[in-house]
């Protein structure tokens, strides 16, 4: 059910011919109210796609009536003509749903630098039939190289959260590259939604770093209908939101392009949280370590070489590194035999103890595989 699980939402997902590979490629989610409170987190990439530029204006007042998403084209670096496509799409959705165009978020995903066919999109918007059971179709329509849709729900006491996500490549921080739509029938004002969403994404999507490549189109949108009539405790709501985002982040990691291992990098003993994140991120972006994991090779020297590139506080000769429970490096020297490490399971747990404090952070990444290279060497051709 994804985004139509909470009360007060209708959605649709349909095929209009944008995606060369075929399949559904246009999704619309309508907030039926009574509230239209919303919050959005955007990519921190300075090269922003047209839908990002548009949506940043839309969310300024914290009010969103609908969101329209397309796969089959990123509408990024497409100039004034590209921005006009985004604007006209929002106008069409607004007209169809009786919502101001200025309250319609737009998201696009696909190849950068190609113009989207406006006529095709406008015809698609007209043809869309939104319903209270349309969430599943919507989650299919935002897929690009995803092999499966990503959905999550959470049940509160009389209120709920529903969500859908897409993302398989360009999965990196500042958001993990992706589109996410989260709906809730909880009745909360936009400032509390915004605080909760930032708190949730900071420790979930922001810590998914599959391939170190940050997209131009990332957007995580949270729409609240208030249809449950319940205003949950903001703390409880933020915790639920974080759980939903963590669920989706794990689904994105599990479906990352070409990956054969899901790597959980847990940094502990850090002087502060930033240090722990920096260390985890450096290891997550180290191609040599990632290729070693693909080869089932517990090459811990590459972990330490990556840690050494950071500014984090640590003593190179105090550090411990464990891979899947085997402490292969103890106090900066060879520990237990690397032969003891079993890297055959898909899930890999890398534990780095900096011995410099009490802060921790976990970064999610994937291995570097032949299939990753293959999929990404032939994307636009």
86 belongs to the catalytic site: no
Which span (100-108, 211-219, 238-246, 261-269) binds its own copies, by CB under 8 A?
Answer: 211-219
Can you tell me the distance from the alpha carbon of 268 to that of 279, in angstroms, rounded to the nearest whole number?
10
Question: Nearer Cβ to its own copies, position 181 or 214?
Answer: 214
Cα dihedral across residues 12, 14, 18, 23: positive or negative: positive
Q: Which residue has the tokens 């060369």?
A: 20
CB nearer to its own copies: pick between 230 and 340: 340
Count of CB atoms within 10 A of residue 70's CB? 31
Phi and psi based region of residue 34 (left: phi greater than 0; alpha: psi -120 to 50; beta: remaining): alpha
Stretch that binds its own copies, among 2-10, 55-63, 222-230, 328-336 (CB under 8 A): 328-336
| Alpha carbon distance 175, 62 (integer Å) | 20
Convert residues 287-326 into a mask of x (bound to its own copies by CB under 8 A) and - (unbound).
Answer: xx--xx-xxxx-xxxx-xxxxxxx-----xx---------
d(CA 117, CA 348) in angstroms, rounded, equals 43
Q: Does 179 engage in binding with its own copies (CB under 8 A)?
A: no
CB of 336 to its own copies, least distance (A): 12
Q: How many CA atoms lie within 13 A of 258 on its CB side?
A: 21
Q: Kindly state the tokens that stand for 147.
A: 């092999």
Does 117 bind its own copies (CB under 8 A)? Our answer is: no
Q: Is 60 exposed, middle or buried (0-12, 13-18, 19+ CB in 10 A)?
A: exposed
Give DSSP secondary structure letters for 101-149.
Answer: GGGEEEEEES-TT----HHHHHHHHHH---BTTTHHHHHHHT-SS-SS-
CB of 286 to its own copies, least distance (A): 6
Is 376 assigned to a binding site? yes
Count how many residues are written for the chain. Answer: 381
Among 1, 74, 105, 245, binds its own copies (CB under 8 A): 74
User: Which C-beta is closer to its own copies: that of 119 or that of 333?
Assistant: 333
* Least distance in angstroms from the C-beta of 166 to its own copies: 17
Determine if residue 70 is labeled as part of a ligand binding site: no
Closer CB to its own copies, 74 or 270, in the complex:
74
Q: Is residue 140 a contact point for its own copies (CB under 8 A)?
A: no
User: Residues comprising the binding site for substrate?
Assistant: 144, 166, 177, 257, 376, 381
**Residue numbers at the binding site for its own copies (CB under 8 A):** 45-48, 74, 76-79, 111-115, 169-170, 174, 211-216, 285-288, 291-292, 294-297, 299-302, 304-310, 316-317, 328-329, 331-334, 338, 368-370, 372-374, 376-381
Q: Which residues are catalytic?
A: 177
């Amino acid at each position: 059910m994804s985004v139509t699980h909470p009360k007060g939402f209708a959605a649709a997902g349909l095929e209009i011919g944008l995606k060369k590979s075929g399949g559904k490629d246009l999704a619309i989610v309508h907030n039926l109210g009574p509230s239209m409170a919303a919050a959005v987190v955007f990519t921190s990439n300075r090269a922003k796609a047209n839908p990002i530029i548009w949506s940043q204006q839309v969310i300024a007042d914290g009010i969103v009536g609908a969101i329209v998403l397309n796969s089959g084209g990123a509408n990024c670096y497409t100039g004034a003509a590209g921005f006009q496509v985004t604007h006209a799409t929002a106008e069409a959705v607004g007209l169809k749903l009786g919502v101001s165009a200025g309250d319609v978020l737009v998201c696009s995903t696909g190849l950068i630098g190609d113009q989207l066919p406006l006529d095709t999109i406008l015809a698609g918007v007209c043809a869309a039939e939104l319903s209270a059971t349309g969430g599943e179709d919507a989650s299919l329509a935002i897929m690009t190289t995803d092999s499966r849709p990503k959905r999550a729900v959470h049940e509160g006491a009389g209120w709920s959260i529903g969500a859908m996500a897409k993302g398989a490549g360009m999965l990196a921080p500042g958001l993990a590259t992706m589109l996410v739509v989260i709906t809730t029938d909880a009745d909360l004002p936009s400032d509390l939604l915004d605080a909760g969403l930032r708190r949730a994404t900071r420790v979930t999507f922001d810590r998914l770093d599959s391939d170190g490549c940050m997209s131009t189109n990332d957007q995580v949108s949270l729409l609240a209908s208030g249809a449950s009539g319940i205003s949950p405790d903001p703390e409880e709501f933020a915790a639920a939101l974080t759980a939903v985002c963590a669920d989706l982040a794990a689904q994105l990691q599990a479906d990352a392009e070409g990956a054969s291992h899901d790597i959980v990098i847990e940094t502990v003993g850090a002087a502060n949280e930033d240090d722990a994140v920096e260390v985890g991120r450096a290891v997550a972006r180290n191609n040599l370590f990632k290729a070693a994991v693909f080869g089932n090779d517990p090459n811990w020297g590459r972990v330490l070489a990556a840690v050494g590139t950071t500014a984090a506080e640590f003593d190179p000769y105090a550090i411990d590194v464990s891979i899947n429970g085997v402490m292969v490096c103890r106090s900066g020297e060879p520990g237990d035999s690397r032969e003891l490490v079993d890297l055959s399971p898909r899930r890999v747990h890398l534990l780095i103890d900096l011995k410099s404090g009490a802060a921790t952070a976990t970064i999610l990444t994937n291995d570097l595989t032949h299939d990753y290279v293959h999929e990404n060497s032939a994307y636009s051709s």
